[in-house]
Structure 1
Amino acid sequence: MKKLTKQNNTTPRQRWVYVILGIIIMMCLGTVYSWSVFRLHIEALYNVGTTQSGFPYMISLAFYALFMFLTGKHLDKYSPRLIISFGSILVAIGWILSAYAPNIYILTITYGVIIGAGVGIAYGAPMTVVARWFPEKKGLAVGLILTGFGLSPLITAPVARYLIEVYGIVQSFKILGISFGIIIPLLSYPLRYPCDNDYKYLKTTSNITENINDVNTEKMIKSKSFKGLYFSFIIGTMIGLMLIGMTSNIGIELIKLPSKTVTLLISLFAVFNGISRPIFGWITDKLSPRKAMRISYGLSIVAASLMLMADEGSLVLFIIAFSIFWFNLGGWLAIAPTSTLNIYGIKCYSQNYGVVFTAYGIGAIIGVLASGLLMDFLHSFNAIFYFVIISCIIGILISQKI
C-alpha cells in the first residue's frame, strides 16, 4: 500500500519531466529546420543552384518521414531510450560525414539519407511516451513535445551561423554531429512508457475510460477520413517546408536584408513554429481537425498575399508573412498527430501516425522541388506565392472529407 501511495504521489511530477526531456531532444533533432542558414554557403561551396542546394534538405525530410513510418510498428517492442539512442547515433554520423562530402550528391546522402533516417527513428518515441502519460490531454501534451522541434531554429540557427563564421561550414558539421551524439542519448535515458500500475493511476486521476473507437492501421487506410487527413497533411507540410527552406533566400534576395538579420529573424520565426504546436493541438481537440485545417489554410493565404505585395525593404511584410508560414507548419505537426489520436484512438497510434506521417515526406519532396524549379525557370518569388494560394484552396476542398 505504501509503495502504491508513493507512486501516486510521484507520477504527476514524473510525467512532466518526460515532457521537458522530450522538448530538448526534439530541439536537437529539429536542427534540420535550420537548413536555410547553411543553404547559401552550400551553394557557394559546391557551385550549385537553388534546386540542387535543396536536395539534402528535401531528402532529409523524406527519409525522416519514411523512417518515422518504418519505426512506428516497433515503438511498442523496444524501450524509447533504445530507439532514441539508435536514431541519435545515425544523426551524429550523418553530420560528421557531411563534413567530408566532396559534392552536393554525397552531401544529399550524408545529410539527407543518414540524418533524415536518424531523426525519423528517434522522432516518434518522445511523442508516444507523452501521449501515453497524458491520456486526458493528448493534444496538448503532444503539442508541447513538438514545440521543441519547432523552436529548434531559435537556438540552432544562431549557433550554426556562429559556428560557420568562426570555424567554417565543414568544421561546423563535425561539431554539431559530436554534440548531438552525446546530448540526445543522455537525455533519453530516463524515458519510459507507463506500466500497468501507472495506467491504473492515470485512469483514476484523469477520469478517463478506454477509447472504444480504436481503429487499426488497415481499417484506417480504408476510411474516407484518412484520405482527407493524408492529402491535407501533404499540402500543409508542402507549403510550410517549402517556405522554411527558402526563408534565407527570400529575405536576402527579395527583401535585400543582411544575412545576419535574416538569421536573427529565423530565430523569431522559430518561436512561432514552436508555440503553434500546443495551440493547434488545443484547437484540434476543442474544435475539430477540419476547422483547425481551415484556419491554417486561411492564414497561409493571407501570408502569401502579403508577400505578393512585398519588395525590397518590405521588412514588416516579410516578418508578418513568414511568422505565419512558420506558425502554420508547426500547426500541421500538431494537427496531424492530434487528429490521428482523436479519430483512430491510442491503441494503434504508433503505427497509425507512422503511416499518416509519410505525407510529410511527400510534402517535402513536392515543396522543395516545386520551389526550386519555379525559381530556376521563372526566376520569380511571386510564382511561389501564387502556388501557395492555389494549393491552400485545394486543401480547403480536400479537408471536407474529414
Structure 2
Amino acid sequence: MENKSLAKQAWTVLLAGLGVNLTIGVLYSWSVIKKSLVADLNWSNSEASLPYTVAILVWALTLLVAGKLQDKYGPKKIVILGTIFTALGLILSSFTTNPAIIVLSYGIITGGGIGFAYASVTPPALKWFHPAKKGMVTGIVVSGMGLASLYIAPITTALISSFGISRTFLILGIFILIVGTGIAQLIKNPPEGYVPEEPKNMKNSNSPKSKPVADFDWRGIIKTKEFYFLWIMFALSSSAGLMIIGNLAAISLEQASWDKGFFLVGLLAIFNALGRIGAGLLSDKIGRIRTLTLVLAIQGINMLLFASYVNPIGITIGTMLAGIGYGSLLSLFPSLTADFYGVKNFGGNYGVLYTAWGISGTIGPIMAAVIVDSTGSYNLAYLISAGLLIFAIGISLITKNPQDSKRINQAA
C-alpha cells in the first residue's frame, strides 16, 4: 500500500510540475502584448521588445540562484515564490504605461519569477522516479512551457480586445497568483531514504542506468571539460531555434508570401512540446548523446533547407522540424545534466548550464536581425546557423559521460 501511495505522489509531483510550467508560460504571449503596446499605446518596436528581451535574460540568470536555493530550502517554497513574483510583475504592469517601468515590472520581476518557478519543478520530479526514466520525466515537465502558447496567446488576444492591455496584465497576474500558487502546493521532494521502484522492463540491475551516480556540485561541474562541451552545444543549438521562433511570422511572409503567423505559432507550440516529450522518451531507450546528435543533425539539415521553403507547405514543414528540434534540446540538456552530475545538486548545476540558453537568446535573433537589415533576407543567417550546428555535432561525437571516466574525481 505504501509503495502504491508513493507512486501516486510521484505522478502528482510530475503533473504539478507540468501544470506550473503551463501557468507561468505567459512569456509566450508577448508577441500579442507587443502588438497592442505599439498599436494602442504608441510605443516604438524597440520599446515594445525590451521587456521581453530583459525577461529572457533575467529568467536565465535567475536559474543560477533559484536552482541552488531549491536544492537548499526545498522546491515548494521556491516555486511558490516564483509564481508570486510572476504574478506580481504582471499586476504592477497593469498600473502603468511607462516603458521603463514595465521593463522593471515585467522584464525583471515577472522574468525573475518565471526563472524561480521553472528552475524548481524538474529537480523534485526527477528525484521521485528511477534514473532510467529521466528523459520521460524531464520531457513531460518542460513540455508545459512548449504548450503554454497554445492557450495563453489566444486568451491574451481576447482579453486585450475586450478589456485593453492594462486590465489584461491584471487578469493574467491574478490568474497566475491563484492557479500557479495553488498548483505549487503539490511540489515536494520525496521522503528521506526513498528509493524509486526499478522499471519492470529493465533487463538487470547491472544496466548502465542503474549504476550509482556521483553527485557533483556547481564547483565540481565547471572543472570538467564535458560541462563546456554541453554549454557550447546548448548555446549554438538553441540559438538556431530561437532565431526561427522570433522571426517565424516575418519569414513566412517574406519567403512564402503567407500571412498565417498565428497558425504557425500554434503549430510550433505543438511540435515544441512533442519534441520535449519525444526526445526524452527516445533518449531513455538509445542514450542521451545519441539522441542529441540526431536532433542536432535534424536542426542542421532544416537550416540548410530553410531558404528553399518558399511556399506554405515548405514553411509548415520547416516550422514542425524547428519546433521538434528546439523542444528536444530543453528535454535533453536537463537529462544530460542529471546523467553527468547526479540529481542531488541538479537545480544549481542546471542553472549554471542554462546560462547557455540565455546567451543563445541574443546570438540567433541578433545575428538574424543584422543580416536581414544588411542583405534583405535571412539566407545567410540560415547558413551560419547550419555551420554552428555542424560544429555542435562534432562536439557531441567526442562528449563522454564523466561518470564513466576514471580521470574525474567525485565532487560531492
Q: Deviations over 1:151-193 (max 9, x none)?
A: 1111112222222333333332222122111110101112211
Shift of 1:41: 3.7
Residues 71 and 102 (structure 1), Cα distance of their counterparts in 2 relative to 1, 3 Å cut: same
Report whether the alignment pairs 1:163 with 2:159. yes
- Distance between the aligned counterparts of 1:38 and 1:247, measured in 2? 17
Give the AA of the match of 1:93: L
Q: Which residue number corresponds to residue 351 of structure 2?
A: 354
Give the AA of the match of 1:193: N
| Corresponding residue SS for 1:73 | helix
Task: Summarize the alignment of residues 65-84 of structure 1 with structure 2, pairs less than 5 Å apart.
Answer: 65-84=60-79
Task: Summarize the alignment of residues 12-27 of structure 1 with structure 2, pairs less than 5 Å apart.
Answer: 12-27=7-22
- Distance between the aligned counterparts of 2:50 and 2:221, measured in 1? 32
- Distance between the aligned counterparts of 1:75 and 1:19, measured in 2? 16
Shift of 1:339: 0.6
- Distance between the aligned counterparts of 2:276 and 2:109, measured in 1? 26
- Distance between the aligned counterparts of 1:214 and 1:61, measured in 2? 29
- Distance between the aligned counterparts of 2:190 and 2:57, measured in 1? 31
Shift of 1:200: 4.1
Residues 301 and 14 (structure 1), Cα distance of their counterparts in 2 relative to 1, 3 Å cut: same
**Residue of 377, 381, 386 corresponding to 1:384:** 381
- Distance between the aligned counterparts of 1:175 and 1:294, measured in 2? 43
- Distance between the aligned counterparts of 1:127 and 1:267, measured in 2? 24
- Distance between the aligned counterparts of 2:196 and 2:339, measured in 1? 22
- Distance between the aligned counterparts of 2:114 and 2:372, measured in 1? 29
Give the AA of the match of 2:144: G
Report whether the alignment pairs 1:142 with 2:143. no
Q: Which residue number corresponds to residue 331 of structure 2?
A: 334
- Distance between the aligned counterparts of 1:138 and 1:290, measured in 2? 14
Residues 47 and 186 (structure 1), Cα distance of their counterparts in 2 relative to 1, 3 Å cut: closer
Contact 2:16 2:183 in 1 (8 A): yes
| Corresponding residue SS for 2:186 | coil
Report whether the alignment pairs 1:192 with 2:173. no
TM-score (normalised: structure 2): 0.86
Give the AA of the match of 2:392: G
Q: Which residue number corresponds to residue 263 of structure 2?
A: 264
- Distance between the aligned counterparts of 2:378 and 2:31, measured in 1? 16
Shift of 1:52: 5.6
More displaced 10-residue stretch of structure 1: 355-364 or 199-208: 199-208
- Distance between the aligned counterparts of 2:291 and 2:51, measured in 1? 31
Q: Deviations over 1:201-253 (max 9, x none)?
A: 64799978672433332221111111110110011221222221222333345
Q: Which residue number corresponds to residue 365 of structure 2?
A: 368
CA RMSD, 1 decimal? 2.5
Contact 1:157 1:266 in 2 (8 A): no
Q: Which residue number corresponds to residue 214 of structure 2?
A: 213
Contact 1:232 1:398 in 2 (8 A): yes
Task: Summarize the alignment of residues 237-316 of structure 1 with structure 2, pairs less than 5 Å apart.
Answer: 237-252=238-253, 254-258=255-259, 261-311=260-310, 314-316=311-313
Shift of 1:75: 1.0
Q: Deviations over 1:246-293 (max 9, x none)?
A: 2233334554444xx422332222111111112212333333443223
TM-score (normalised: structure 1): 0.88
Q: Deviations over 1:116-148 (max 9, x none)?
A: 110111112210111000124122111111111
Structure 1 unpaired stretches of 5+: 1-5
| Corresponding residue SS for 2:44 | coil
Contact 1:241 1:367 in 2 (8 A): yes
Contact 2:61 2:355 in 1 (8 A): yes
Give the AA of the match of 2:377: S
Contact 1:34 1:153 in 2 (8 A): yes
Structure 2 unpaired stretches of 5+: 400-412
- Distance between the aligned counterparts of 2:196 and 2:305, measured in 1? 50
Shift of 1:47: 4.5
Q: Which residue number corresponds to residue 107 of structure 1?
A: 102
Q: Which residue number corresponds to residue 11 of structure 1?
A: 6
More displaced 10-residue stretch of structure 1: 368-377 or 157-166: 368-377
**Residue of 35, 52, 56 corresponding to 1:57:** 52
Contact 1:33 1:244 in 2 (8 A): no
Give the AA of the match of 1:74: L
Task: Summarize the alignment of residues 121-132 of structure 1 with structure 2, pairs less than 5 Å apart.
Answer: 121-132=116-127
Give the AA of the match of 1:59: V
Residues 162 and 302 (structure 1), Cα distance of their counterparts in 2 relative to 1, 3 Å cut: farther
More displaced 10-residue stretch of structure 1: 99-108 or 315-324: 99-108
| Corresponding residue SS for 1:75 | helix
- Distance between the aligned counterparts of 1:151 and 1:126, measured in 2? 16
Aligned residues: 391
Q: Which residue number corresponds to residue 227 of structure 2?
A: 226
Q: Which residue number corresponds to residue 3 of structure 1?
A: none
More displaced 10-residue stretch of structure 1: 264-273 or 366-375: 366-375
- Distance between the aligned counterparts of 2:397 and 2:47, measured in 1? 36
Give the AA of the match of 2:247: M
